[in-house]
């Protein structure tokens, strides 16, 4: 089962992610980051940009691969995920634009009818990720139905990057980015598949608000099923799910902790236990501003000592 961390709000979640990635880059200057769009990662990117600046971290060699892209939109279209990633990640962090990619960026708006180019774009993207050495940390959001990226319910859990038809509800939801005109929303997309996502060394999924509570419950405590694509995180050796109290409200198995010390590290993959849901606030609800680090993966230079601050409290 994934490690679940319950935080106060999106800012605290963003600090956790940012500290994890900042330390990764310090130890591995050419780190490969998996990037996502949407509202959930924005605080994480903001805090990471602040740490890069405050700690003078060299990001000139960092590579990045986005989760998905629309088919048929030029890269320069303001709502293409190429443009979105550049606005929210590349520019604030000062990354080299030539080292950051989206699925199908070689298509640059090619229409669906350009079958041969479209067919090769997915496998070429997966090959590019592999050639870069694989993704070190992949940030993820989750939909209310458990979708990850454009991998909607029913998506194969073994899938690679490929072309998908957008569900009608997804197009309706995304129409707000296209002048509320569903006719402007592309009908197809090219996302990393669940199989591709699971190859990342560390998965960090963010979820906030009561509207995500059912999806979080199914992801963490339900059965692994294509009808909740995010449930595939249960199969990963190092998956961390960071949620606020509202998003965690339906979880059945939780432990509480006392306020941890500033020297503690959260566990790496081998430290995880089936019932490990960690509330990062004290039992009284107080919060002293302490920000823990996400556990380092063994292949990311992590320590092999289990965390010393986790205390099993009453199960609620």
N- to C-terminal Cα distance for the chain?
18
| Amino acid 277: pLDDT | 54
DSSP state of 90: I
Distances (CA, A) of 31 to 25, 47, 187, 247, 296: 6, 18, 33, 30, 14
At residue 300, the pLDDT reads 34
Give the residue from 139, 37, 136 showing the smallest Cα distance to 86: 37
Which pLDDT score is estimated for 113? 83
70: Cβ–Cβ under 8 A, 6 or more apart, which residues?
79, 80, 81, 186, 188, 189, 190
How far is it, in rounded angstroms, from Cα 256 to Cα 213?
Answer: 19
Residues of the chain with pLDDT under 50: 256-276, 280-316
Rounded CA separation 156/116 (Å)? 23
Q: According to the model, what pLDDT value does residue 275 have?
A: 44
The predicted structure's pLDDT at residue 107:
86
Sheet holding 239-244, edge to edge: 100-101, 63-66, 32-35, 137-140, 202-207, 239-244, 3-7, 277-279, 255-256
Predicted pLDDT of residue 189? 94
Q: Are 8 and 287 in contact (CB under 8 A)?
A: yes
Q: Give the residue numbers annotated as catalytic, written as ranges.
A: 68, 145, 147, 152
Rounded Cα distance, 83 and 201, in Å: 26
Instruction: State the burial class of residue 209 (Cβ atoms within 10 Å of its Cβ: 0-12, 13-18, 19+).
Output: middle
The pLDDT value recorded for residue 296 is: 42
The whole model's pTM is what? 0.83
Q: So what's the pLDDT on residue 293? A: 41
Q: Which three-class secondary structure state does DSSP give residue 279? A: strand
Give the residue among 37, 50, 43, 35 at the shortest CA–CA distance from 8: 43
> What is the helix (H) or strand (E) element at residue 123, kind and residue range?
helix 115-131
């Amino acid at each position: 089962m994934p490690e679940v961390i319950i935080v106060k709000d999106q800012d605290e979640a963003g600090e956790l992610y940012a500290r994890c990635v900042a330390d990764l880059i310090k130890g591995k200057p050419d780190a490969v980051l998996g990037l996502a769009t949407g509202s959930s990662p924005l605080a994480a990117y903001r805090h990471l940009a602040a740490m890069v600046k405050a700690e003078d971290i060299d990001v000139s060699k960092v590579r990045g691969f986005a989760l998905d892209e629309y088919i048929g939109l030029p890269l320069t279209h303001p709502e293409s995920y190429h443009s979105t990633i550049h606005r929210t990640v590349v520019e604030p962090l000062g990354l080299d634009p030539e080292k950051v990619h989206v699925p199908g960026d070689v298509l640059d708006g090619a229409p669906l009818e350009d079958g041969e180019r479209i067919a090769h774009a997915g496998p070429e993207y997966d090959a590019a990720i592999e050639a870069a050495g694989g993704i070190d940390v992949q940030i993820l959001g989750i939909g209310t139905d458990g979708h990850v990226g454009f991998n909607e319910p029913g998506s194969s859990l073994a899938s690679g990057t490929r072309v998908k038809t957008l569900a009608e509800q997804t197009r309706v939801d995304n129409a707000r980015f296209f002048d509320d005109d569903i006719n402007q929303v592309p009908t197809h997309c090219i996302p990393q598949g669940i199989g591709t996502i699971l190859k990342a060394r560390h998965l960090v999924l963010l979820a906030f608000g009561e509207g995500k509570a059912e999806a979080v419950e199914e992801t963490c405590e339900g059965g692994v099923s294509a009808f909740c694509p995010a449930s595939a995180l249960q199969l990963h050796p190092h998956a961390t799910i960071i949620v606020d109290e509202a998003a965690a409200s339906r979880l059945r198995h939780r432990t509480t902790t006392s306020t941890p010390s500033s020297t503690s590290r959260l566990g790496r993959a081998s430290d995880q236990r089936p019932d490990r849901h960690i509330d990062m606030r004290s039992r009284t609800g107080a919060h002293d501003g302490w920000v823990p680090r996400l556990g380092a993966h063994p292949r990311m230079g992590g320590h092999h000592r289990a965390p010393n601050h986790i205390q099993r409290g009453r199960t609620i």
